Amino acid sequence: MTPESANSHSWVDLTFLGGLGEIGLNLMTLETGDYLVVVDAGLMFPEDQMLGIDIVIPDFSYLKERRDKVAALVLTHGHEDHIGAVPFLLKEIPLPVYGTPLTLALLREKLREHGLLTDADLREISPGTPLALGPFEFEFIRVCHSIVDGVGFVVRTPQGLMVHSGDFKIDQTPISGGAMDLNRFAHYGEAGVLVLMSDSTNAERPGYTLSEREIGLTLEGLIREAAGRVIVTAFASHIHRLQQIVNIAAKFGRQVLFNGKSMVVNTRLAKELGYLDIPSGLEITVGDLERLDPSRTIIVTTGSQGEPLSALARIAMEAHKQVHIQAGDLVILSSKFIPGNERAITTVINNLCRLGAEVVYQGLADIHVSGHASQEELKLLLNLTRPRYFIPIHGEMRHLIKHTRLARAMGVAAGGILLATDGAQVRFDSRGATFMDRVDTGRVFVDGKGVGDVSRIVLRDRRHLAADGLVIAYAAVDPSAGKIVTGPDLITRGFTLEEEQAPLLDQARKIFREILLKALTEPTQDWLEVQTQVSKALRKLFFKLLERRPMILPLILTL
Nearest to 246 by CA among 238, 232, 256, 237: 256
Return the beta strands (E) in 436-469 as ranges. 443-447, 450-451
CB-count exposure of residue 225 (10 Å: 0-12, 13-18, 19+): exposed
In the three-class reduction of DSSP (H, G, I as helix; E, B as strand; rest coil), residue 265 is classed as: helix
Say whether 288 is catalytic. Answer: no
Based on its alpha-carbon atoms, the radius of gyration of the chain, rounded to whole angstroms, reads: 29
Q: Is 372 a catalytic residue?
A: yes
Q: Give the 3-state secondary structure of 335-397.
A: CCCCCCCHHHHHHHHHHHHHCCCEEECECCECCCCCCCCCHHHHHHHHHHHCCCEEEEECECH
Cα atoms in the Cβ-side hemisphere of radius 13 Å centred on 390: 32
Q: Contact, 29 vs 14, CB < 8 A?
A: yes
Count of all residues that appear for the chain in the document? 559
User: CA–CA separation, 246 vs 407, rounded Å?
Assistant: 40
**Exposure of 317 in the CB half-sphere (CA atoms within 13 A):** 16
Among the listed residues 13, 167, 181, 199, the single catalytic one is 199
3-state DSSP percent of the chain in helix, strand and coil, to 5? 35, 25, 40
Could you say which of 164, 372, 394, 399 is catalytic?
Answer: 372
Q: Which residues are catalytic?
A: 199, 372
